[in-house]
Amino acid sequence: MRIHTGEKLFSCDQCGKSFTYKQSLERHMMIHTGEKPFSCDQCGKSFTNKKNLKSHMMIHTSEKAFSCDQCGKSFTYKQSLERHMRIHTGEKPFSCDQCGKSLTYKKNLERHMMIHTGEKPFSCDQCGKKFLCASDLKKHLTVHTKEKPHSCSVCGKSFSLLQYLHKHEKTHTGVREYMCFECEKTFTTAGGLKRHQRIHTGEKPYKCSHCDKRFSRHHI
């Protein structure tokens, strides 16, 4: 009956949060005590509950039970599939309260907000140049190292980053996993789809610094 009445008799003496059942309070207390009684027998990582351990075990079994019906890509967790589907649906649930721009993922919004704050937390130890995110710094570092450790098994072309190799490999496989839901045209990259969609939306994000003319693509 407590579920219907909303009665919560069990309170945490650390943070004041209340619970309907004693077992729920006991589980919650592990956050404060740091207790993690459920351990992975493969790598030793510990968890506060059995459900989280069960989810973690999929990493070791390579089980990917959740597949995308648009491109066939598989995922270990349902939440990962749901996030991936936004690529195909175009859903952008996270909006910037400064400029109104909408983003697909929360981490993208957090990174975007740095444009407004001017924050650039990642610095190059070679030249001091600063970047919004770690991935941009990583890309930049290849300018100094000239290292290209990732090679295409088909043509032998080398790349500084694995993501560049994956993008290149699609030229050989012909995989076009990004589809426009307006006209069903397909693209090999998310960026290609995004640029194409401006034909339908009329969006022109690039403005000339000398006049008010706007463009859908960046013109030098």
∠120-138-110 over CA atoms, to 5°? Answer: 40
Asked which of 20, 45, 63 is the last residue of a domain, the reply is 63
State both tokens at 73: 């890509």
In a domain, 51, yes or no: yes
In a domain, 56, yes or no: yes
In a domain, 2, yes or no: yes
Average pLDDT of the residues of the chain: 84
In a domain, 40, yes or no: yes
In a domain, 195, yes or no: yes
Proportion of the chain above pLDDT 70, given as a percent: 95
Per the structure, the count of domains in the chain is 2
Give me the domain span that covers residue 31.
1-63
In a domain, 166, yes or no: no
User: 97-111, pLDDT tens digit by residue?
Assistant: 988 889 998 988 988
State both tokens at 48: 């506060």
Asked which of 63, 83, 104 is the last residue of a domain, the reply is 63
User: 140-192, pLDDT tens digit by residue?
Assistant: 888 888 888 889 998 999 888 788 888 888 888 877 878 888 898 888 888 88
The answer to whether residue 1 scores a pLDDT higher than 60 is: no
Contacts of 161 (CB under 8 A, 6+ apart): 138, 139, 142, 150
**How many whole angstroms separate alpha carbon 20 and alpha carbon 8?**
4
In a domain, 54, yes or no: yes
**pTM exceeds cut of 0.75:** no
In a domain, 115, yes or no: no
CATH number at residue 3: 3.30.160.60
First to last CA, the chain: 68
Asked which of 26, 43, 63 is the last residue of a domain, the reply is 63
